[in-house]
Structure 1
Amino acid sequence: MIPELGNFSLILAFALSILLGIFPMVGAARQNQLWMGLARPLTAGVFVFLSISLAILAYSFVTDDFSVQFVANHSNSMLPLRYKLTAVWGGHEGSFLFWTWMLGGWMLAVAIFSKSMPTEFVARVLSIMGLISVGYTLFMLATSNPFDRALPLSPADGADLNAALQDFAFIIHPPSLYMGYVGFSVVFAFAIAALISGRLDSAWARWCRPWANAAWAILTLGLSLGSWWAYYELGWGGWWAWDPVENPPLITWLLGAAMIHSLAATEKRGVFKSWTVLLAIMAFASSLLGTFITRSGLLTSVHAFASDPTRGVYILGFLGLIIGGSLLLYAIRAPILKSEFGFGGWSREVFLLANNLILVVASAAILLGTLYPMVYQAVTGGDLISVGPPYFNTIFLPLVGILVLLLGVGPVARWKKTSRAYLIKQLSKVAIAALVIGVALPVLLTLGVPLTTIIVTVLACWVIFSLLRDLQSKIANKPDVWSGLKSLPVSYWGMQLAHFGFVMTMAGGCLTSIYSVEKSVLLDPGESAELGRYTFVFEGIEPVQGPNFIADEASIEVLRDGVYFRHLYPQKQLYTASNTPATHMGIDGRFFRDLFVTLGDARNQGAWSMTLYIKPFVRWVWIGTIFIAAGGILAVTDKRYRRFKVRQVQRAAPVTNKDSQPVVEG
């Protein structure tokens, strides 16, 4: 009976989403204050009923209600409680309910934090998000209902959660990834509402920027956590595999990064209006594309959720309807999107545009490499081919290098017009210092001339010194350093943090790829293997009993330069309910390097295979993403985004807009 209540709540959320998608939109068109006023209470109702559905599904997992088909497929009575709760998003149906609930949460946030905006605009934004919710909830009710029953004969126990997902990172990775993904629907709704209303000015950009920054920062954390989980859980020693299911979030992230930079230009200078709107549509489209890839049955992956092509057809149709309709509206309203101001050839606008083009080209290259194998298989009917890391690295890495070069110039350049003499004056010493230190450090540390390392170090120093130079110039005319630092807006510090984090992630990824070493060995108890400065002594295997698995745990003594350093304990696990093997790595993580041991299979007479890794600078990849996300969140807190001036334009009488609201400026 309780699961039926969850299903009924889902139906009510669907019905309220329909009302939300119709009445406020029509009310905005007819200037009907009552109908526009329904937007916020209807939004709250959608969120409440989605929350009830999600809570009931979680209750079904906690109580081991295996009469619910989804619970039977993704849980087990021996599964620890924390994983029973997170199994809610461990499969297709539950994850999509969780996704839709996240959309309801973003909708509610917009309803709460938009009271300073015109009623007409907010009504349109919430109505557009309501229409998206209609599509999501209809998809669940029609093809992917998480409350479907396994009746009349329900299983005595469940099939268990995927062994690779029974991990702490899985508790926090999908929520952050979904929250970032779905957050771009807010920016999409703002863009479409602006196209409908014909209002696309600096005030619109200022309203939109905190939502774009928040979604992008949260997606950054989601991507980072997914990379970290793959690194220590899957056992291959890498942090990014260019997996076709991993790539769509990266595409969304790149397009989101382009959009938040374009929004800055739209707010400050009233330029790139059409480009900003197009980026908002593209970012949302890429999030839907990621949904299609993971739920269409086209791919088999630990990240993929569904194997029913019917679901893929629905999502593809929904994608075509939403994006096709958006692009049609964009084409119709294009005349109102013309920029009103020009700019010079060396201005900050030019560097932001170049930044945008590189990010979009990188996104297109990743999209091509991701979709080409699927298109090839569909056209030829042959086996699914793969596009591997060499393709992505060959195209992506040079673009990142160009982006880093621009990253050092853009913040220093001025709006509208910047003279070359000014840029040379600001950056000549920066360039010299970056070259000297960037060359000297690798040469002194390696006693060689590692060209790739030198390039990476020079680029990193270039951006860091440029950020410091920009900071110095901004506080140069202040009475003292402290008052100068305090006078800078929070969004500026957010930009500095994000740019520093990007450079750190870039440097960490490149350096760990250059200097990582590995060695596969077969050791008997008491034998050892050397790798770099370290000696790994295999002491033997002990059995371990987990809550729902059994494991063989290796004890490995690590010596550094012949002196005891620490022990590592990698495991080979077997989950008893599903009879699924899994691995648990032995990792010693430090700021400058990781030691990483993967336990393989038992061989004759007690010998075990294992792989040893030394991975310098790999932690910088994730530390850098923390700085990026912190920068994005810090920018959201800038009070300028929550402060709106209300002005009355005086002619013969005060002028108001059509819904009798005062004219609002950012």
Structure 2
Amino acid sequence: MITELGHFALILAALVAVVQTVVPLVGAHKGWRSWMALADPAATVQLILVGFSFAALTYAFVVSDFSLRLVFLNSHSDKPMLYKISGVWGNHEGSMLLWVLTLALFGACASWFGSNLPASLRARVLGVQALVSVAFYAFILLTSNPFLRMEVAPFDGQDLNPLLQDPGLAFHPPFLYLGYVGLSMTFSFAIAALLEGKVDAAWGRWVRPWTLAAWLFLTVGIALGSWWAYYELGWGGFWFWDPVENASFMPWLLAAALLHSAIVVEKREALKSWTILLAILAFGFSLLGTFIVRSGVLTSVHAFANDPERGVFILVIFGGFVGAALTLFAVRASAMEAKGVFSMVSRESALVANNVLLAVSAFVVFIGTLWPVFAEMALGRVLSVGAPFFNAAFSPFFVVLALILPVGAMLAWKRGNLRRAMTPLWPVVVLAVALGGLAFAMQTGRSALGPVGVILGVWVVGGAAMDLWQRTGRKGLSDRLGRLTRLPRADWGKFIAHSGLGVTIFAVAGLMAWEAEDIRVADIGDRWQIGIHEIELRDVRQEQGPNYITTKADMAIFRNGREVGVVHPEKRFYPVAEMPTTEAGIRNGVLRDVYLVVGDPQTNGGWAVRSYIKPFANWIWGGSILMAIGGLVSLSDRRLRVAAGAAKRRTPAGGVPAE
């Protein structure tokens, strides 16, 4: 009964979304206030209905209602409760229900927290947001209904993909969807502004919090996915340039560009056309990522579905929204004339360079991801584009971005002085070069990647710190320290986020440059050297898990002849899914991880064992956490949260509010 009510609520939510699309948009066009006002209650009602629908599906998974086809295909009675719940979105149909729930949530938040928006703009934003929801409601109800029943209820289910039965993957999709779908709000703001025929500083301030929230959630979601790949897949890497990884990375790059471009619109009323275009493209790439994950055109361990029919439907949604948006963009180009002018040496120019580098980086990832598809369709050739291409083509743009980031932050608006901007940064230059030289002197027979990473990381972090310090003025030390505590949260958020980027750049370069690897067949009792550590294989045995059988090893780690830890790498087999997984044994450290993997038994005796030393591995996710915290701190700044200073209602002498 609850399942049928959930299905009915989903249909009602789709109908409410249709009303929320048509009535407010017509009302905004005609100037009918009562019609525009309908957008707010409709957004709330839609969220309540789709929320109930999602709760009904979750209930079916929790109680193991195998009469529901989706539960049968993605759950099992012996599965731990956490993975029963995460199984709701660990599949195509359930994840799409989470998608529309997130769309409705962002629409409702725009209604609840957008009281300072002009009535016509708010109506258009909520109307466009609902239109996006309508498209995905149609997709779910016509091709991906999560509430289909089985004719005969089976005794038990087929279990969730074992790779997804992990805490990292349990929370990774919701955060990623909050980022993906969050970009729909920037898209809705862009289309609403084009319909209004007005893009100004107030619009730039309104769109920034939504962009920041989407970028923040994307950062957390990507970091969780990277962390999962590091310890769960057993390959020893943190990023594989997998098509689905790239599908989330491209919107992240464009959202970062949009975030900085919106600042220029707000401060200088420049880059209007470019900012609107970025808002369209960022959401467009989110839709493209959805197509990649669900169409089957590209193979990935992360893929949800392999269904060309569904892929065509999503491609139609992508083409419809992006095509219509770009057409409207071309028609309204005259309404986005830039007012602010700036010289070649200015903060605006630095932000333009930032945007170009981020956009080109996203384009490089796009080409590398989809080139195998183009080659097969156009040339009839089966090609593979791997990490060497991405590392060679992508890295130079990020190196240049890291170099200009501290300088651009120190330049003045409109007309800057490069020499004056560099003056406080020279100590940072000296420190970065000195530490890079020290790293080069300490390493032997290795590439320059590590020292370059040290220089760039110190340069970005030190530049962010110096930028924050310069904002305290030029008075005495005590006065500057006091002012430091009173700086706006947005300034602190910028410092933390940029520092996180610097830490991540350093950690990625350090891990790739200084990693050590050993692959061998080891017998029980064998001990071998890797880096400054020794590894001993003490025991390998079979154990029974909650819903799997595991081959677990005991491996001791020694340093300078002293035992410093024991880890337990596993090779699990899930009988219901008939699928193996690898669980690495990792001894985490501040400066390095010792990463151990046990493989299959060998015909001549012994076990296949892989050992790695991963320098600064945890710094990668530490940097990602810092970036997310920086975004959160900035978002908590009241000026961003409620767009203070934006166009608000003014009350003239007569006491009647003026629009």
TM-score of the alignment, normalized to the shorter chain, above 0.5: yes
Looking at structure 1, the residues matched to 509 and 483 of structure 2 have their Cα atoms a distance apart, in angstroms, of 35
Q: Secondary structure at the match of 2:195?
A: helix
- The partner residue of 1:470 within 461, 467, 470 is 467
**Cα distance between partner residues in 2 of 1:22 and 1:150:** 36
Deviation at 1:620, TM superposition (A): 1.0
Separation in structure 1 between the aligned mates of residue 386 and residue 294 of structure 2, nearest angstrom: 22
Note the 1:301-320 alignment, pairs <5 A: 301-320=300-319
Q: How far did 1:174 drift?
A: 0.7
- Quick check: 1:438 aligned with 2:442? no
Quick one: distance in 1 between partners of 2:637 and 2:602?
A: 60
The answer as to whether partners of 1:646 and 1:662 remain within 8 angstroms in 2 is no
For structure 2, the 5+ residue unaligned runs are none
Structure 1 position 291, deviation (Å) = 0.2
Give the drift of 1:470: 2.1
Q: 2:205·2:646 contact (CA, 8 Å) conserved in 1? A: no
CA distance in structure 1 between the partners assigned to 2:230 and 2:419 by the alignment? 47
Point out the more displaced range, 419-428 or 512-521. Answer: 419-428
1:402 matched to 2:408? The reply is no
How many Å separate the matches in 1 of 2:282 and 2:649? Answer: 36
Equivalent-residue separation in structure 1 for 2:556 and 2:419 (angstroms): 60
Opposite residue 461 of structure 1, the aligned amino acid is V
Supply the distance in 1 between the matched residues of 2:445 and 2:379 (Cα, whole angstroms). Answer: 50
1:459 to 456, 461, 465: 456
Residue 638 of structure 1 corresponds to which residue in structure 2? 637
What secondary structure, in the 3-state scheme, does the structure 2 residue paired with 1:146 have? coil
Q: Select between 613-622 and 525-534 the one with higher mean Cα deviation.
A: 525-534
- 8 A contact 2:650–2:657 mirrored in 1: no
The amino acid of 1:621's aligned partner reads: I
**CA-to-aligned-CA distance 1:540-561 (integer Å, 9 cap, x gap):** 1122211111111101111112
Which amino acid in the other structure matches residue 392 of structure 1?
F
Q: Secondary structure at the match of 1:604?
A: coil
Label 1:425 to 1:157 Cα distance change in 2 as closer, same or farther (>3 A). same
1:254-293 to 2 correspondence within 5 Å?
254-293=253-292
Contact 1:87 1:161 in 2 (8 A): yes
3-state SS of 1:341 partner: coil
What's the offset of the Cα at 1:396?
Answer: 0.8
Shift of 1:155: 2.4
SS of 1:522's partner is strand
Cα contact 2:61–2:88 (8 A) shared by 1: yes
DSSP 3-state at the match of 2:409: coil
Q: Please say if residues 116 and 644 of structure 1, whose CA atoms lie closer than 8 Å, have aligned partners that are also in contact.
A: no
State the match for 1:368 in structure 2: 367
Unmatched segments (≥5 aa) in structure 1: none
Q: CA deviation at 1:648?
A: 7.6
Deviation at 1:460, TM superposition (A): 2.0
Report the AA paired with residue 520 of structure 1: I
| 303-312 or 452-461, which deviates more | 452-461
Letter in 1 for 2:205: R
What is the one-letter code of the residue matched to 1:130?
A
| Structure 1 equivalent of residue 54 of structure 2 | 54
Query: Following the alignment from structure 1 to structure 2, what is the Cα–Cα distance between the partners of residues 317 and 448?
Result: 53
Query: Matched residue of 1:328: which SS?
Result: helix
Q: Partner letter of residue 34 of structure 1?
A: S
Distance in 1, Cα, partners of 2:463 & 2:606: 54
How many Å separate the matches in 2 of 1:647 and 1:220? 32
Q: How many residues align?
A: 655
User: Are the counterparts in 2 of residues 89 and 98 from structure 1 also a CA contact under 8 Å?
Assistant: yes
Deviations 1:408-464 (Å, cap 9, x if unpaired)?
A: 21110000001233234333443333323332x314543788633222222222223
Mapped contact 2:447–2:513 kept (Cα < 8 A): no
Match of 1:116 in 2: 116
SS in 2 for 1:442: helix
Q: How far apart are the structure 1 equivalents of 2:597 and 2:399?
A: 33
1:647–1:662 contact (8 Å) kept in structure 2: no
Q: Can you list the C-alpha shifts for 1:503-559, whole angstroms capped at 9, x where unaligned?
A: 111110111001111111111111122211111111111222111111111011111
- Cα deviation code 1:588-626 (max 9, x no counterpart): 111211011111001236511111010001111100000
- The corresponding residue for 1:70 is 70
Residue aligned with 1:229, SS: helix
| Alpha carbons 1:405, 1:463 under 8 Å: kept | yes
Structure 2 distance, partners of 1:51, 1:292, is: 24
CA displacement at 1:46 relative to structure 2: 1.0
**Number of the residue aligned with 2:580:** 581
Deviates more, 1:251-260 or 1:50-59: 50-59
Q: 1:32 aligned to 2:32?
A: yes
Give the 5 Å matches for 1:341-380. Answer: 341-380=340-379
Q: Is the 8 A contact 2:460 2:501 kept in 1?
A: no
Distance 1:393 1:47 in 2: 42
CA change 1:445–1:323 in 2 (3 A) is: same
Matched residue type, 1:459? L
Q: Specify the code of the residue in structure 1 equivalent to 2:121.
A: F
Query: Kindly tell me: are residues 581 and 189 of structure 1, through their superposed partners in 2, closer, same or farther at Cα, counting changes over 3 Å?
Result: same
Give the whole-Å Cα distance in 1 for the aligned partners of 2:444 and 2:324. 60
Range with greater deviation from structure 2 (532-541 or 476-485): 476-485
| d(CA) in 2 for partners of 1:70, 1:542 | 35
Instruction: Give the whole-Å Cα distance in 2 for the aligned partners of 1:483 and 1:206.
Output: 28
Counterpart of 2:103?
A: 103
The one-letter amino acid paired with 2:124 is R
Task: State the shift of 1:486 in Å.
Answer: 2.7
Q: Structure 2 vs 1, CA of residues 449 and 513 (structure 1 numbering), >3 Å: closer, same or farther?
A: closer
One-letter code aligned to 2:361: A
CA 1:80 to 1:420, structure 2 compared with 1: closer, same or farther past 3 Å? closer
> Which residue number corresponds to residue 339 of structure 1?
338
Q: How does 1:384-395 map to 2 (within 5 A)?
A: 385-395=383-393
Is the 2:461–2:503 Cα contact (8 Å) retained in structure 1?
Answer: no
Please name the residue that 2:252 is paired with.
253
Give the SS at the match of 2:390.
helix
Query: After the TM superposition, which residues 494-533 of structure 1 pair with which residues of structure 2 at under 5 Å, given as runs?
Result: 494-533=493-532
- The answer on whether the counterparts of 1:478 and 1:484 sit within 8 Å (CA) in structure 2 is no
Is the Cα contact below 8 Å between 1:43 and 1:111 reproduced in 2? yes
Partner AA of 1:8 in structure 2: F
- Aligned amino acid, residue 421 of structure 2: L
SS in 1 for 2:586: strand
2:606 corresponds in structure 1 to: 607
Offset of 1:302 from its aligned partner?
Answer: 2.1
Q: CA deviation at 1:90?
A: 1.0
Q: Tell me the alpha carbon deviations over residues 118-154 of structure 1, each in whole angstroms, 9 at most, x when there is no partner.
A: 1111111011000000001100000000111221x33
The answer to whether the 8 A contact 1:648-1:654 is kept is no
Counterpart Cα distance in 2 of 1:624 and 1:484: 26
- The CA distance in 2 between the partners of 1:424 and 1:452, in whole Å, is 25
CA contact (8 A) 1:273 1:337 kept: yes
Which moved further from structure 2: 113-122 or 361-370? 113-122
Question: 1 CA distance for matches of 2:485 and 2:445?
Answer: 44
